[in-house]
Amino acid sequence: MTPAPTPCSEELFDRARAVTPGGVNSPVRAFNAVGGTPRFIASARGPWLTDVDGNEYVDLICSWGPMLLGHAHPEVVAAVQAAVARGTSYGTPTEGEVTLVEEIIGRTPVEKVRLVSSGTEATMSAIRLARGFTGRDVVVKFAGCYHGHLDALLASAGSGLTTFSIPGTPGVPASSTALTLVLPYNDRAAVEAAFAEHGDRIACLITEAAPGNMGVVPPEPGFNAFLAETCRRHGALFVSDEVMTGFRVSRSGQWGTDGAVEGWRPDLVTFGKVMGGGLPAAAFGGRADVMAALAPDGPVYQAGTLSGNPIATAAGLATLRLATPDVYDHLAAVADTLRAGVADAFTAAGVPHVIQSTGSMFSVFLTDEPVRDFAGASRTDVAAYGAFFHAMLDRGVHLPPSAFEAWFVSAAHDDRAVQTVLDALPAAAEAAGS
Ligand code: PLP
């Protein structure tokens, strides 16, 4: 088939590259992993993106998670418009901040919450708070888990299992990652070994509540409970990063599917994405005694000019209020249909594949073994994914432009959008296999 022309996106990409590194303001948008020209989007409504050339795509990125209700939901738009009309930022407290935080506390295991503007700020602040509260300095994370671009967590594993890590990117000083331990995900023995050797120095262990940033790699049953208990035994804090999963994989996030059922609580939780409704809002929260260590109540400093911004809180509150149980039922049904379609298409094309999910978040690994950690995820066939991605794009479906990302659906993904995806899959799976 002949792909729809994209001259306006190409021209904009040229202009963008002349003035912005890679032409984008966040690297994955550049299509480096799949090749080609990113589509510049002019507008979006419901499950559809419209690019500057007038081409339409079913959106399975959903802004990398936030757009739980789909794009330009009328009630979210109205809430934002009403908020803008009252002024864009005051630098003084507002009722909207209180109400949003009350909504978050009502849905999740946290007792107190501080609002910030990005997921990175949330995890960075949670780690500082964990260090300040415990008086310890070591942080444990898992390979393949992404928590934003803070220096301490842009770390790669050291040479041994319990040796400290090395910077994951130029620009991060070795001293910033020298107190970070990077372990393989889902590996209880590695966690035991790290705590046995460094337990009395570990301030916190941070993990994606269910990793989505190496593709979806769910925690094995009881893994989060094991992490919470291990931290408790060693006097470290368990920080559950729900920036991606929060309010998406269930009403309360990943915790709603494991902690609430198994009866344990994280000490700190980070949130972002859905709770901002597509505007810059994020949060961290947790045990009241830990949060009491935060300024101005306690000595651990943290602040932000735009934290709790009135427009962002209005968008977030409208989104959370509209995220009723029906929404989660719909997301589950859409994800089920799409997963079945993806499996059928790759099976028919004879392409080895594994589909992994948590709630309605899922991803497709082009490999023949279930993926339980970053090493497993790295075995996915990246070139085949690139061919699949472009064949889907040519047929009006915008997947994440990387093999290591979750696919997101929204409450607005209706029969027409789902059918467009199902119709595109067989030929795209063939393209992946050729
Ligand atoms: N934590 C997780 C689990 C994420 O997925 C992300 C972003 O994708 C972040 C933190 C960082 O959030 P932000 O991009 O808003 O800084």
The domain spanning residue 208 has which CATH number? 3.40.640.10
Whether 162 has a pLDDT exceeding 80, the answer reads: no
Tell me the two tokens of residue 88: 């864009």
Residue 164 is predicted with a pLDDT of 85
Residues 279, 313: Cα–Cα separation, whole Å:
8
Residue 159 is predicted with a pLDDT of 77
Q: How far is residue 425 from each of residues 319, 392, 399, 417, measured CA to CA in Å?
A: 31, 7, 11, 13
Tell me, yes or no, whether 315 and 329 share the same domain: no
Whether 152 has a pLDDT exceeding 80, the answer reads: yes
Among residues 273, 328, 373, 381, the one annotated as catalytic is 273
CB atoms within 10 A of CB 214: 27
Residue 157 is predicted with a pLDDT of 82
Closest atom of ligand 1 to 119 CA is 12
* 313 assigned to some structural domain: yes
Tell me, yes or no, whether 355 and 303 share the same domain: no
* 43 assigned to some structural domain: yes
Before 296, cis peptide (omega within 30)? yes
* 14 assigned to some structural domain: yes
Residue 35 is predicted with a pLDDT of 95
Q: Is the pTM above the cut of 0.90?
A: yes
Tell me, yes or no, whether 332 and 316 share the same domain: no
Looking at 322, 338, 367, the residue that finishes a domain is 322
Q: What is the pLDDT of residues 286-343, one digit of tens each?
A: 999 999 999 999 999 999 999 999 999 999 999 999 999 999 999 999 999 999 999 9
- pLDDT average, residue stretch 181-199: 97
Looking at 305, 322, 339, the residue that finishes a domain is 322
Helix axes 310-322, 74-85, angle to 10 degrees: 160
Q: How far is residue 376 from each of residues 171, 322, 347, 351, measured CA to CA in Å?
A: 28, 37, 20, 17
Report how far ligand 1's centroid is from the alpha carbon of 119 (Å).
5
Looking at 295, 322, 349, the residue that finishes a domain is 322
Q: What is the pLDDT of residues 193-219, one digit of tens each?
A: 999 999 999 999 999 999 999 999 999
Tell me, yes or no, whether 373 and 268 share the same domain: no
Task: Please state the separation of Cα 62 from the chain's center in Å.
Answer: 11
Report how far ligand 1's centroid is from the alpha carbon of 279 (Å).
14
* 368 assigned to some structural domain: yes
Give the three-class secondary structure for 36. coil
Tell me, yes or no, whether 301 and 381 share the same domain: no
Residue 2 is predicted with a pLDDT of 80
Sign of CA dihedral 363, 365, 368, 373: negative
Report how far ligand 1's centroid is from the alpha carbon of 269 (Å).
13
Domain residues for 234?
Answer: 74-322
Tell me, yes or no, whether 186 and 86 share the same domain: yes
Within 163-291, strands assigned E span 166-167, 180-183, 202-208, 237-241, 268-271, 282-286
* 276 assigned to some structural domain: yes
DSSP string, 286-310: E-HHHHTTBTTTSSB----TTTT-H
* 2 assigned to some structural domain: no
Tell me, yes or no, whether 45 and 151 share the same domain: no
Within 209-293, strands assigned E span 237-241, 268-271, 282-286
Helix axes 95-107, 310-322, angle to 10 degrees: 40
* 238 assigned to some structural domain: yes
Tell me, yes or no, whether 296 and 342 share the same domain: no
For a pocket test of ligand 1, which of 125, 213, 408 has the largest count of ligand atoms closer than 8 A to its C-beta?
213
Among residues 57, 146, 185, 328, the one annotated as catalytic is 146
For a pocket test of ligand 1, which of 24, 28, 120 has the largest count of ligand atoms closer than 8 A to its C-beta?
120
Mean pLDDT value across the chain: 97
Q: What is the pLDDT of residues 215-249, one digit of tens each?
A: 999 999 999 999 999 999 999 999 999 999 999 99
* 355 assigned to some structural domain: yes
- pLDDT average, residue stretch 56-70: 98
Q: What is the pLDDT of residues 391-421, one digit of tens each?
A: 999 999 999 999 999 999 999 999 999 999 9
Tell me the two tokens of residue 279: 């505007």
CB atoms within 10 A of CB 36: 18
Report how far ligand 1's centroid is from the alpha carbon of 272 (Å).
7
Tell me, yes or no, whether 125 and 256 share the same domain: yes
119 lines ligand 1 (CB under 6 A): yes
The reply to whether 141 belongs to the active site is: no
Tell me, yes or no, whether 144 and 250 share the same domain: yes
Q: What is the pLDDT of residues 420-429, one digit of tens each?
A: 999 999 999 9
Residue 158 is predicted with a pLDDT of 79
Q: 327-364: b or e for each residue (b if 16 or more CB lie within 10 Å)?
A: bbebbbebbebbbebbbebbeebebebbbbbbbbbbbb
382, containing H or E segment: helix 382-394
- Count of domains in the chain? 2
Residues 166, 180: Cα–Cα separation, whole Å:
8
ipTM over 0.95 threshold: yes
244 lines ligand 1 (CB under 6 A): yes
- Say if CB 242 and CB 224 are below 8 A apart: no
Q: How far is residue 118 from each of residues 91, 320, 392, measured CA to CA in Å?
A: 17, 17, 30
Tell me, yes or no, whether 44 and 89 share the same domain: no
The reply to whether 301 belongs to the active site is: no
Nearest CA to ligand 1 atom 12: 119
Nearest CA to ligand 1 atom 5: 244
Tell me, yes or no, whether 46 and 177 share the same domain: no
CATH number of the domain where residue 34 is located:
3.90.1150.10
